[in-house]
Amino acid sequence: MPFKQDFLWGGAVAAHQIEGAYNKDGRGLSTADVMTGGANGVDREITKGVVAGKYYPNHEAINFYYHYKEDIALFKELGLKAFRTSISWSRIFPNGDDEIANEAGLAFYDRLFDELNEAGIVPVITLSHFEIPYHLYEAYGGFKNKKLIDFYVKYAETVMRRYKDKVKYWMTFNEINNQAGGDWDIHAWCNSAVQFVADDNREEIIYQASLNELIASAKVVKLGHEINPNFQIGCMMAYVPVYPYSANPSDQIAAIKAMDGRYFYSDIHVRGKIPRYVLNYWKEHDYRIDYSQEELEILKAGTVDYIGFSYYMSDAVTEIAELDGWKYSKFSQAKISKNPYIHASDWGWQIDPVGLRYVLNSVYERYEKPLFVVENGLGAYDKLETDGSIHDTYRIKYLQEHIKQMELAVDEDGVELIGYTPWGIIDIVSFGSGEMEKRYGMIYVDKDNEGKGTLKRSKKDSFNWYQTVIKNNGLT
C-alpha cells in the first residue's frame, strides 16, 4: 500500500462552522458571528455587530460545543486517526486584547482534546480558522494593524502552553492566501478582520495584513518549538492550481503569474523570506508595505515544519481576448474561468482529481517539505430517504478519485504525505454561503439553511465506505 502505517486518515472542521454556543461561557463576539446566512449564489452579509431579526448560522452551527462527546464516538466508530478543528480565539481572549485568558474557554478545549486523545484520535489544530475577535476589528482595524501580531502571538502562546501535552499538530492561519488581491470582501474579513472604505487601495492593504500575519506565524512557529520541540507546526494554504487555458505561450506566463498570488504566502512560510517577484510587484505598483529588518529575521527563524493545504478544484487562465464568459482576475492580470475538460459542482467548483496530483507534485518539488491534505471534499445536495438513509454515491466517487491521485503522488512521484482529513467530515455550516444544505459530511445533520431541524446525526453511505478505506489504509 502506498501510505505509511502511521498515515493520518481523518476529517476536518472549524470551530465557527461546528461549535455554536457563540456567546456562552465567556466567549466574545468573533468576525464569524456577524456573517448572515446566504445561499447558493447569494453572498453573506457582514453586519456591524449582531443585528436583531437577521439569521446568523454560525451562532448555533451544529451545537458541537454540547454534542462533541456523541460526535467523537461516531468519529471513533468511523475509525478516524486524526481530527482537524480550530480553537475559537474569542473563547480564549473574548476581546483579543484582554490581559488574562478566559478559563472557561480553555477548559472546553481541555475536555475536547482529552475526549479525542482517549478515543485514539490525534487532534490537528488550526489557531485561526476564519475567525478573529470582533473587537480587534473595531478597535484596531484588523491585521492591517501590526498590533494584531502580538495579540495573536499571546493567544497562540497561551493555548500551545496549555495543550502542549495534548496537541502535537498545529497550523497558524487557515487558507491565508484566500485574501490575495483584495478582490473579495469576505476573505479580507475572514482572513484579516479587514473592511475596506471607498478609496482604499485594497491590494496594498491586503499585502500589509498578509505580511503581518506571516510575521505572526513565524513568531509562533519559533515559540512553539521552544514550548515543545515535538510540535509539528504547519502553514495552511488553499491551493487552487491555475492552468494555462491553451498552449499559447502568453497563457503559460499568465498561469505562472496567477500562481504567484498563492506562492507568495507559502514561499514566505517555507523559505522564510519575501520573494523577489513580490518585491518587484510592490515597487512597480508603488505599494508601501511596512516591515523592519528585525521582522525579516523573524521570518527566517520561523519557517514551518509541514505544508497543510486544501484542495477542491482547479482553474484556468487565458490572455486570448475573444473568449467569452471569462471573468477577469485583477490579481493574475488574466481571465480566469471554466476549463472545458472538467465539470463543476452545483456551486460551480470545477472538479479535477488529477489536479490534486498536480498540486502534490508542484508543491513538493518546490519545497521538499512534508505535505498534509487538510481539506478536500464535495459540497452537494443530499437526499434524506424515508428510511433515514442517504445514498451519497457522488461524494464517494469524488473522494475515491482524489484518494487515487494521492496514491499515485505517493507511490509513483515520491511525495511525502502526512495525512488526509477530508473537509466537513460531519455536515456543518458552509463558510462561503452560510448554508447547511451545501453538505460535505459522511455524517448527516438534520438542519436546513433557515436553521430548522432536530440536529439529529445519521450515517451516510460514505460513512461505511470511508471506514473501509481507513481499515485498508487506502483504496483496495
Catalytic amino acids?
175, 375
Sheet bearing 242-244, strands edge to edge: 242-244, 315-318, 334-337, 327-329
Q: Judged by CB under 6 A, does residue 190 bind ligand BGP?
A: no
Q: Which stretch binds ligand BGP (CB under 6 A): 46-54, 258-266, 388-396, 432-440?
A: 432-440
Burial 290-324 (b: 16+ CB within 10 A, else e): ebeeebeebbeebbbbbbbbbbbbbbbbbbeeeee
| Interatomic CA distance for residues 15 and 108, integer angstroms | 12
Q: Judged by CB under 6 A, does residue 431 bind ligand BGP?
A: yes
Q: Judged by CB under 6 A, does residue 238 bind ligand BGP?
A: yes
Angle 63-65-69 from CA coordinates, rounded to 5°? 100
Q: At closest approach, how far in Å is the CB of 17 from ligand BGP?
A: 6
Q: At closest approach, how far in Å is the CB of 300 from ligand BGP?
A: 28
Q: At closest approach, how far in Å is the CB of 81 from ligand BGP?
A: 21
Inter-helix orientation angle 293-301/202-227, to 10°:
50
Q: Which of residues 411-430 bind ligand BGP (CB under 6 A)?
A: 423, 430
Return the closest-CA partner of residue 92 out of 183, 4, 154. 154
Q: Which of residues 354-413 bind ligand BGP (CB under 6 A)?
A: 375, 379
* 457 backbone dihedrals φ, ψ, rounded to 5°: -95, 140
Question: Residue 448 class from Cβ within 10 Å (0-12 exposed, 13-18 middle, 19+ buried)?
Answer: exposed
* 309 backbone dihedrals φ, ψ, rounded to 5°: -155, 160
Q: Which of residues 125-184 bind ligand BGP (CB under 6 A)?
A: 130, 174-175
Q: How many residues bind ligand BGP (CB under 6 A)?
A: 15
Q: At closest approach, how far in Å is the CB of 175 from ligand BGP?
A: 5
Residue 48 C-beta-side C-alpha neighbours within 13 Å: 1
Q: At closest approach, how far in Å is the CB of 278 from ligand BGP?
A: 23
What number of other Cβ atoms are within 10 A of residue 468's Cβ? 11
In the block, residue with C-alpha cell 471513533? 76
Nearer to ligand BGP, 240 or 409 (CB): 240
In the block, residue with C-alpha cell 483579543? 96
Nearer to ligand BGP, 91 or 162 (CB): 91
Q: Judged by CB under 6 A, does residue 310 bind ligand BGP?
A: yes
Q: Judged by CB under 6 A, does residue 19 bind ligand BGP?
A: no
Q: Judged by CB under 6 A, does residue 308 bind ligand BGP?
A: no
Nearer to ligand BGP, 274 or 436 (CB): 436
Q: Judged by CB under 6 A, does residue 14 bind ligand BGP?
A: yes
Nearer to ligand BGP, 81 or 438 (CB): 438
Q: Give the one residue of 91, 438, 459, 460 binding ligand BGP; rule: CB under 6 A.
A: 438
| Interatomic CA distance for residues 102 and 130, integer angstroms | 20
| Interatomic CA distance for residues 360 and 321, integer angstroms | 31
Nearer to ligand BGP, 3 or 423 (CB): 423
Q: At closest approach, how far in Å is the CB of 126 from ligand BGP?
A: 9
Q: Which residues bind ligand BGP (CB under 6 A)?
A: 14, 17, 130, 174-175, 238, 310, 375, 379, 423, 430-433, 438
